[in-house]
Amino acid sequence: MTGETRLGRFGWKANQPTLRQQVAHALVADMGVTTTLYRQEQGRDAPGEPEVSQDDLDLLMIYMRLLAVPKRRDWEAPEVQRGHAVFRALGCAACHVDTPQETGLVEGFDEVSRQVIYPYTDLLLHDLGEGLADGRPDGLATGSEWRTPPLWGIGLVESVNRHTRFLHDGRARSLEEAVLWHGGEAAAAQGKYVRLPREDRAALLAFLKSL
């Protein structure tokens, strides 16, 4: 934490500039666990010794950084290929960018440096409309702005996490519901999805499941 306003890459509202800060914030805000970055729990008395040491936080960072992205499945299947074409035609890729991106240099981590990746996100904030607004501005994000979440690995949420809850508050019970909630800057893409023939909708969902 430097007191400067920096562009965030992590968090639903893009409000965390580094992975370390995102993890330390999640530890304290979601689990009430203090670290050297956040020595005090919100609403609690005086800051004490951090519950997670600097060394353990460093180890946690190594683990998080080296977590691999799952391999795509069935990407050659004709239905999946068609779904990708539909994804592009609807304009989903305007935010969930489907072109290759290259990672920067991560000191000490050759495995993840200068790698070509397909995260399916621009990592930017977009206004997704009143329907998805939480009315809680955060950093420079308004109540209806959200950072485009990466879609890589989304097809495995069900088998790995054993749930199919999507969007920032888990309101969507399936990938299709997640698409249907899109509004604001994504209203045009959502409108086109609704008007698709049934086979094209199925193909788009098959594509999402392959990620």
Of 73, 85, 92, the C-alpha closest to 154 is 73
As given in the structure block, the two tokens for residue 34 are 């203090």
Tell me which of 60, 61, 91, 156 binds ligand HEC, using CB under 6 A: 91
Kindly give the residue spans of alpha helices, DSSP state H, lying in the chain: 19-31, 54-66, 78-90, 157-161, 175-180, 187-194, 198-210
Closest approach of ligand HEC to the CB of residue 70, in Å: 14
**Which segment (25-33, 53-61, 69-77, 184-192) binds ligand HEC by CB under 6 A?**
184-192
Rounded least distance, CB 91 to ligand HEC, Å: 5
- Residue 126 in contact with ligand HEC, rule: CB under 6 A: yes
| 153 sits near ligand HEC (criterion: CB under 6 A) | no
92 binds ligand HEC (CB under 6 A): yes
How many CB atoms within 10 Å of residue 55? 8
Alpha helices in 93-197 (DSSP H): 157-161, 175-180, 187-194
Phi-psi region of 171 (alpha: psi -120 to 50; beta: other; left: phi over 0): alpha
Tell me the closest approach of the beta carbon of residue 146 to ligand HEC, in angstroms.
Answer: 4
**Cβ closest to ligand HEC, residue 138 vs residue 185:** 185
Give the residues lining the site for ligand HEC (CB under 6 A): 87, 90-92, 94-96, 126, 128, 132, 146, 148-149, 151, 154, 166-168, 175, 178-179, 182, 185-186, 189, 193, 208
